[in-house]
Each structure stands twice: as C-alpha cells, then as structure tokens.
Amino acid sequence: MEHARNPRNVGRIRGAKKIIAKNPFCGDEAEIFLKVENRKIADIKYQIRGCILSKASLSIFSEYIKGKDLKSLKKIKDEDIFKMIGGKPSPSRAKCALFGFEAVHEFCRKEPK
C-alpha cells in the first residue's frame, strides 16, 4: 500500500527511451521513460493512469531495475514480479501487476546489443 500511496520514480526524463504500456483488460496506461547507459538502466521515470495495483507494482519494479543491466532484465519472470509485490494476485488482477514489467521486458528483448 505504501507504493500505491507514495509511488516512486514518477515523472519524465527528457531524451530518454519512451515505452507505452497498456493493459487492455482494465484500461491502465503508462508512459515509461528509460535512460540507458552502458547497457544498464541509469534511470527510470513513468506517468501512469491506472488502478492501485498497477501503480504500486510499477513503483516497486521501477526501484528494482535501476542500475540493472538489460541482459539480466530479460531473465526476469512473472513469478519474480509477484514475489516483489508480496504474492500473486487473482488471475483477473495479474495483468495489472505485470503490464509495466511486460513493456520494459519487451524493450530489453528488442534493444540492440
């Protein structure tokens, strides 16, 4: 609940890579800004319109990935995100917890080496 009330890393980064994340099931949307230096996430900020779970999850995930290299981020699984947020939500809410992570994961997968 702390991350939902006081989300971390909210904002924008000029000149950063911008990712659009959408959850078509409930309408959550986020713009995620990644500053990548030497194949590592130097900084992350985001703007989000979504439910409490999506806000809290993206806040927790954004703190986790700072300083991580893109290669290691490719290895993160859904279950790792569920552990970060304190457990797996109901099936109808799992997409809320994962949609920001999935967008960053796809970015890391496609980013040139």
pLDDT digits 0-9 by tens, 5-39: 999 999 999 999 999 999 988 899 999 999 999 99
C-alpha–C-alpha distance, residues 52 and 96, integer Å: 9
pLDDT at residue 42 tops 90:
yes
Q: In this predicted structure, what is the pLDDT of residue 112?
A: 72
Identify the bridge partners of residue 48 per DSSP, sorted by sequence position. Answer: 30
Strand order in the sheet with 40-49: 17-22, 29-37, 40-49
Task: State the Cα–Cα distance between residues 65 and 10, nearest whole angstrom.
Answer: 14
Helix, strand, or coil here: 36? strand
Average pLDDT, the chain: 94
Q: What's the pLDDT tens digit per position in 79-93? A: 999 999 999 999 989
Please, is 20 exposed, middle or buried when counting C-beta atoms within 10 Å of its C-beta (0-12, 13-18, 19+)?
Answer: exposed
Band (pLDDT 50/70/90 cuts) for residue 113 is low
Question: Which residue is associated with the tokens 């703007």?
Answer: 47
